[in-house]
């Protein structure tokens, strides 16, 4: 026979002013199985918790119902209180008399009756509760970081400095990401490479970090603390151990006119190349799609001249397998190209460029060595128009969100132009200026007041070429929608930031959810911003949403500490609210018929096959088995199971039906 | 043969008679069979939808319902304004069942929404180039500016034009008959439209920009597919010239007239004499160099 204790909390006036708590406590005492019932002003306070602890000890309670706030608020508090007396914490339940009752109803008898009903439902449930014990899973103390931009670099360094092993995988031949392409950074105008490259070197030299560049995640299996990954190390066609990075191969390569990805198409590179001189590692890659040898079968100039004999034309991709305990996704973003804009000429005008291309023009390491020259004829532009929100915040273009970084970098672009071309005119067309951030607004004011950048609030309707000038037509909405026409030499579009190529595929591989724009989804937009819905997989940087460098670094450090916290334990403890497939005595073993309809329904890939064998190894039956490391307790399989063989611990069908019937 | 319902609308009986004449003149050779909707009415144009929403729906709905009654699958509407009204109404009615029923009640005919509304360029672009090639007697070897105007391409969600901001399909049709088309920025800019009557100064300013840019980029003719555009660029030429302070001799042709010329149809039949700006295309002899099949080394190997 159950011995249930009921504790009704007034929550000050939150519940007490609307619900007659005394009456609730009194009525509950009449429910069969209830041996103790009382009310108190603040049940979560220390004296309140003491009431519970004393009652458990004195009346030897087998279950506790606390009628108070939402279990999201104080379930851990009350369960802890119960556990201190030796009662299994999963025998304590909460009836939500605040959010579900007092906050949403007027003071009335009927409200009190509802409170009684809610409590009775939980009493019926708790009578059927079973003691549950936390699940323990081991943890591999190695993290996989995917993406070697500033986000991935920061996360890797933080985890490595906490004493854990890190595997950093980067798709491109070098780490550094977009930040390596940038000229100077807002709001301080410090050189991007100057602050980034030391970190890149640190990553390469850190004893705890294994760096795989020109590599991609091939597959992943397992669960938090226990992932197994396969990494495809693409063939560089170079023996990395022998290569000294002297660069002679690049000088000798006859294919010299390939648009450089690092220079956003504004400069050229050779077929054997390192993306930029400060690349880490400083080992070239042969671009097979452009290499004469791979296309026509002859050339081998690089091999002939390589002083270290490091060229390996027959090198093949390598698959590296590793066990990791956590994954940090830091795959970054991309920007849409100028071809995305019909009204701006579909990318046909050479002097209409993206913000990223402008970064290369302004960068000391760029194709013009930092001199602002327009791409068409190399002239220094006298008038430059910058267009903010090019694609962003535009439902007609399918990108409704704000790309967030453009207001600031456009102000920076205009400022850099004015610093380099003193007599030049800089115009910025904008919708709003979103300069929230430390020293951000001041930075924009500086562009306006000190550098005399002309801000025009309005959209640009069209750009076309006329007599060697780009005619930019727009409206000035602060001047009564006056049409504006500017004859520009260079137009820079602050093109929308979008999810990186392959984001969707990667998300599906990792079972991470993503939004309609293919940005990875965080577990909770406010309270769990660096975790994904898949336990053990964390997010850093612009792969989650467009972000600037400070925000990316902050989130990367957040992800790094989450991983370090996870790795601080040798075993993981999880709430035992997981699904279980029932097991019965032979010859049935389980009512599961092995249809495995539950397998595709499970969003977490937690359902495995289990073979039931005789002692001599003969197969009797294959049944479903739920991996308690992966199961998130959503209950989808329970609802789906045709033979009712699966139950959710803590929320079994029996408990649920009892609860409903009591209402 | 492509059998199409035909809705000429008021313009093609009046100011744009040559549009109707040239369309009928080329229809046989281009394999278009026109079936004029019996007892058709005004589409409502810009007037109705400024005054009364129901009226602006009912007028085109009646035309569409009449066409459906004739078991037509498609209705060709050469006038861009009529096309726009008919297509927008079709879209509004098929996406709102209650509205469809109400309007069907008003017009006392059941509008089903099965009929498709197509504009002239769409119809012409369907003609296979091989079929057209045999018919071409005098390739239209001029540099032309294809001017789409506003109503053919907007709103993009409804009319589904190829590229709303920089459409190509008229250019493609013109290339089929031998023309060179210029890449310019005024393809879909406003010509002044209905201000043709009330504010000719605005028309002169807007249409003037269009003509100026076309001429500057070397166009020898402007090709249009809209009576309103035609009248603003052609009929208002003297105002434009006065405003710009210079003469423009560039003729404005309906796409059907240009095709007619390529097919060797007489100027008279195409109604070229009806234009205000005389259609004087520069005399030039361009030799047609047929690209012969030159076997490449690769083909030989095979």
Give CA–CA dist A309/A646, Å, rounded: 62
Q: What is the reported pLDDT for B292?
A: 45
Give yes or no for A462 touching B (CB within 8 A).
yes
Q: What CATH number is attached to the domain comprising A23?
A: 3.40.50
pLDDT at B291 over 60: no
Give CA–CA dist A156/A164, Å, rounded: 9
Interchain pair A348, B183: CB under 8 A = yes
Task: Note the Cα A437 to chain centre separation in Å.
Answer: 21
Rounded mean pLDDT of B137-153? 93
Give CA–CA dist B84/B7, Å, rounded: 13
Give me the residues paired with residue A462 across strands. Answer: A473
Beta strand A579-581 pairing with A646-648: antiparallel
Interchain pair A464, B166: CB under 8 A = no
Give yes or no for B42 touching A (CB within 8 A).
no
Look up tokens 């046909």; give the residue: A348
Last residue of a domain, one of A543, A567, A591: A567
Tokens of A516: 């309609």
Give the helix ranges, DSSP H, for A189-291: 192-205, 248-252
Interchain pair B216, A343: CB under 8 A = no
Residue A263 to chain B, least CA–CA distance (Å): 29
Residues A178 and A323 in one domain: yes
Residues of A in contact with B189 (CB under 8 A): 462
Give yes or no for B172 touching A (CB within 8 A).
no
Chain B (174-193) residues lying within 8 Å, Cβ to Cβ, of chain A: 183-185, 189
Which regions of chain A are under pLDDT 70?
A: none
Q: What is the reported pLDDT for B296?
A: 46
Tokens of A182: 């940038």
Give yes or no for A468 touching B (CB within 8 A).
no
Q: What CATH number is attached to the domain comprising A636?
A: 3.30.70.20
CA end-to-end span of chain A: 21
Residues of A in contact with B185 (CB under 8 A): 462-464, 471
Evaluate whether residue A311 is within a structural domain.
Answer: no
Higher pLDDT, B134 or A9: A9
Fold annotation for B2-118 = Glutathione S-transferase Yfyf (Class Pi); Chain A, domain 2 (1.20.1050)
How many other C-beta atoms are found inside a 10 Å radius of the C-beta of residue A523? 18
Q: What is the pLDDT of residues A113-136, one digit of tens each?
A: 999 999 999 999 999 999 999 888
Tokens of B9: 């609308």
Radius of gyration of chain A (CA): 32
pLDDT at B220 over 80: yes
Of A342, A462, A464, the CB nearest to B163: A342
Length reported for chain B: 302
Residues A474 and A356 in one domain: yes
Residues A602 and A466 in one domain: no
Give CA–CA dist A128/A315, Å, rounded: 63
Evaluate whether residue A22 is within a structural domain.
Answer: yes
Give CA–CA dist A366/A493, Å, rounded: 18
Give yes or no for B215 touching A (CB within 8 A).
no
Q: Are A153 and A200 in contact (CB under 8 A)?
A: yes
Question: For chain A, how many structural domains are there in total?
Answer: 5
Interchain pair A462, B185: CB under 8 A = yes
Residues A33 and A106 in one domain: yes
- Contacts of residue B291, Cβ cutoff 8 Å, sequence gap at least 6: none
What does each C-alpha distance from A309 to A154, A243, A317 come to in angstroms?
35, 8, 20
Stretch(es) of chain B classified as CATH 1.20.1050.140 = 2-118
Look up tokens 């977009």; give the residue: A178
Q: What is the reported pLDDT for A202?
A: 97
Q: What is the pLDDT of residues A492-503, one digit of tens each?
A: 999 999 999 999
Interchain pair A346, B166: CB under 8 A = yes
pLDDT at B285 over 60: no
Q: Are A260 and A268 in contact (CB under 8 A)?
A: yes
Fold annotation for B135-274 = Rossmann fold (3.40.50)
Residues A363 and A489 in one domain: yes
Q: Are B132 and B30 in contact (CB under 8 A)?
A: yes
Residues A327 and A338 in one domain: no
Q: What is the reported pLDDT for A396?
A: 85
ipTM of the complex: 0.71
Evaluate whether residue A24 is within a structural domain.
Answer: yes
Residues A369 and A476 in one domain: yes
pLDDT at B287 over 80: no
Domain that holds residue A360: 334-498
Give CA–CA dist A411/B173, Å, rounded: 45
How many cross-chain Cβ pairs, A to B, lie less than 8 Å apart? 19
Q: What is the pLDDT of residues B240-259, one digit of tens each?
A: 999 999 999 999 999 999 99
Give the nearest chain B residue to A464 (CA atoms): B185
User: Looking at residue A554, what DSSP letter applies?
Assistant: H
To which H or E segment does residue A47 belong? helix A46-59
Rounded (10°) CA dihedral A505, A511, A516, A520 = -90
DSSP letter for each residue of A158-206: HHHHTT-EEEEE-SSSSS-GGGGG-SEETTTTEEHHHHHHHHHHHHHH-
To which H or E segment does residue A410 belong? helix A406-420
Look up tokens 């906490």; give the residue: A162
Residues A604 and A584 in one domain: yes
Give CA–CA dist A378/A366, Å, rounded: 14
Of A174, A175, A171, A178, nearest in space to A153 by CA: A175
Residues A342 and A279 in one domain: no
Last residue of a domain, one of A127, A151, A176: A127
Q: What is the reported pLDDT for B297?
A: 45
Of A612, A608, A609, nearest in space to A587 by CA: A612
Residues A103 and A191 in one domain: no
Give yes or no for B163 touching A (CB within 8 A).
yes
DSSP letter for each residue of chain B: -EEEEE--TTGGGTTTHHHHHHHHHHHTTTTEEEEEPTT-----HHHHHHH-HHHHHHHHHHHHHHHHHTT-SEEE--SHHHHHHHHHHHHHHHT-HHHHHHHHHHHTS---S--EEE-HHHHHHTS-HHHHHHH-SS---SEEEE--TTTTT-SHHHH--S-TTS--HHHHHHHHTT-EE---S-TTS---TTHHHH-HHHHHHHHHHHHHHHHHTT-SEEEES-HHHHIIIIITHHHHHHHHTS-----EEEHHHHHHHHTT--HHHHTGGG-SS---PPP-------------HHHHH-
Name the band, by pLDDT with cuts 50, 70 and 90, for residue B196. confident
Evaluate whether residue A596 is within a structural domain.
Answer: yes
The dihedral of CA A212, A216, A220, A225: what is its sign? positive
How many other C-beta atoms are found inside a 10 Å radius of the C-beta of residue A580? 17
Evaluate whether residue A135 is within a structural domain.
Answer: no
Give CA–CA dist B275/B257, Å, rounded: 11
Evaluate whether residue A241 is within a structural domain.
Answer: no
Residues A94 and A150 in one domain: no
Residues of B in contact with A342 (CB under 8 A): 163-166
Residues A442 and A375 in one domain: yes
């Amino acid at each position: 026979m159950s011995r249930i204790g009921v504790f009704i909390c007034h929550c000050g006036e939150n519940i007490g002013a609307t619900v007659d708590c005394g009456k609730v406590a009194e009525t509950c005492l009449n429910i069969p199985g209830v041996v103790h019932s009382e009310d108190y002003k603040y049940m979560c306070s220390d004296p309140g918790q003491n009431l519970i602890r004393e009652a458990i000890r004195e009346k030897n309670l087998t279950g506790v119902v606390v009628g108070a706030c939402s279990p999201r608020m104080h379930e851990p508090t009350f369960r802890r209180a119960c556990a201190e007396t030796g009662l299994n914490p999963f025998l304590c339940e909460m009836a939500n008399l605040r959010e579900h009752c007092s906050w949403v109803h007027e003071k009335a008898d009927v409200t009190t009756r509802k409170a009684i009903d809610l409590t009775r439902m939980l009493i019926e449930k708790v009578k059927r509760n079973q003691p549950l014990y936390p699940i323990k899973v081991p943890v591999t103390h190695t993290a996989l970081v995917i993406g070697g931009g500033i986000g991935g670099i920061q996360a890797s360094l933080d985890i490595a400095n906490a004493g854990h092993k890190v595997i950093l995988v980067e798709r491109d031949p070098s780490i550094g990401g977009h930040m390596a392409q940038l000229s100077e950074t807002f709001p301080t105008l410090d050189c991007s490479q100057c602050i980034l490259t030391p970190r890149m070197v640190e990553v390469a030299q850190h004893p705890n970090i294994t760096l795989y560049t020109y590599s991609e995640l091939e597959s992943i299996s397992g669960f938090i603390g226990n992932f197994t990954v396969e990494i495809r190390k693409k063939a560089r066609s170079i023996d990395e151990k022998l290569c000294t990075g002297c660069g002679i191969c690049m000088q000798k390569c006859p294919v010299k006119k390939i648009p450089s990805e690092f220079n956003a198409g504004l400069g050229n590179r050779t077929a054997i190349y390192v993306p930029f001189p400060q690349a880490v590692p400083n080992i070239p890659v042969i671009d097979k799609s452009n290499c004469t040898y791979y296309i026509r079968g002859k050339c081998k100039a690089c091999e002939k001249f390589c002083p270290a004999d490091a060229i390996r034309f027959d090198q093949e991709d390598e698959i590296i397998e590793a066990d990791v305990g956590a994954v940090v996704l830091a795959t970054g973003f991309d920007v849409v190209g100028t071809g995305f804009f019909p009204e701006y000429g579909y990318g046909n005008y050479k002097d209409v460029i993206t913000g990223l291309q402008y970064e290369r023009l302004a960068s000391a390491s760029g194709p013009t060595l930092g001199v602002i020259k327009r791409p068409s004829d190399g002239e220094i532009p006298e008038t430059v128009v910058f267009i903010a929100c090019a694609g962003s915040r535009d439902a007609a273009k399918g990108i409704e969100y704000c790309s967030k970084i453009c207001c600031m970098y456009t102000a920076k672009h205009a400022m850099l132009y004015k610093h380099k071309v003193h007599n030049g005119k800089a115009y910025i067309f904008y919708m709003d200026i979103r300069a929230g951030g430390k020293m951000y607004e001041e930075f924009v004011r500086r562009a306006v007041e000190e550098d005399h950048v002309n801000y025009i609030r309005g959209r640009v309707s069209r750009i076309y070429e006329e007599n060697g000038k780009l005619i930019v037509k727009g409206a000035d909405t602060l001047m009564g929608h006056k049409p504006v026409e500017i004859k520009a030499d260079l137009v820079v579009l602050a093109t929308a930031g979008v999810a990186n190529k392959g984001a969707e595929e990667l998300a599906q591989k990792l079972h991470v959810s993503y939004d309609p724009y293919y940005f990875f989804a965080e577990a909770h937009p406010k309270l769990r911003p660096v975790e994904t819905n898949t336990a053990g997989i964390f997010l850093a940087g612009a792969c989650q949403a467009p972000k600037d460098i400070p925000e990316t670094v902050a989130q990367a450090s957040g992800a790094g500490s989450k991983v370090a916290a996870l790795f601080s334990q040798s075993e993981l403890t999880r709430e035992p609210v997981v699904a279980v497939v029932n097991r019965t005595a032979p010859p049935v073993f389980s009512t599961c018929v092995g249809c495995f309809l539950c397998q595709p329904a499970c969003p977490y890939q937690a359902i495995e096959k289990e073979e039931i064998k005789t002692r001599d190894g003969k197969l009797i039956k294959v049944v479903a088995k739920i991996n308690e490391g992966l199961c998130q307790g959503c209950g989808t399989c329970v609802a789906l199971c045709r033979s009712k063989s699966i139950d959710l611990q803590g929320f079994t069908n029996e408990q649920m039906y009892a609860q409903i019937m009591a209402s | 043969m492509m059998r199409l319902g035909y809705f000429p609308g008021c313009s093609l009986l009046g100011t744009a008679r040559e549009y109707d004449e040239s369309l009928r003149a080329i229809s046989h050779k281009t394999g278009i069979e026109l079936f004029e909707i019996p007892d058709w009415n005004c589409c409502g144009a810009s007037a109705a939808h400024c005054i009364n929403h129901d009226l602006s729906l009912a007028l085109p709905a009646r035309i569409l319902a009449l066409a459906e009654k004739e078991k037509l699958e498609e209705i060709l509407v050469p006038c861009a304004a009529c096309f726009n009204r008919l297509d927008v109404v079709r879209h509004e009615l098929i996406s709102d069942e209650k509205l469809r029923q109400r309007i069907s009640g008003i017009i006392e005919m059941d509008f089903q929404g099965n009929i498709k509304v197509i504009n002239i360029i769409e119809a012409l672009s369907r003609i296979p180039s091989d079929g057209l090639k045999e018919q071409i007697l005098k390739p239209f070897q001029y540099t032309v500016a294809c001017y789409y105007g506003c109503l053919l391409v907007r709103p993009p969600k409804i009319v589904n034009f190829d590229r709303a901001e920089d459409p190509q399909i008229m250019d493609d049709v013109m290339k089929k008959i031998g023309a060179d088309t210029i890449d310019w920025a005024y393809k879909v800019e406003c010509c002044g439209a209905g201000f043709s009557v009330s504010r000719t100064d605005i028309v002169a300013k807007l249409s003037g920009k269009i003509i100026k840019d076309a001429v500057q980029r070397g166009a020898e003719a402007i090709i249009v597919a809209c009576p309103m555009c035609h009248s603003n660029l052609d009929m208002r030429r003297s105002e434009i010239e006065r405003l710009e302070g210079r003469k423009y001799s560039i003729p404005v042709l309906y796409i059907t007239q240009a095709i007619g010329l390529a097919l060797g149809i007489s100027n008279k039949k195409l109604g070229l004499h009806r234009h205000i700006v005389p259609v004087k295309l520069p005399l030039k002899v361009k030799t047609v160099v047929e690209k012969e099949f030159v076997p490449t080394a690769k083909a030989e190997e095979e």
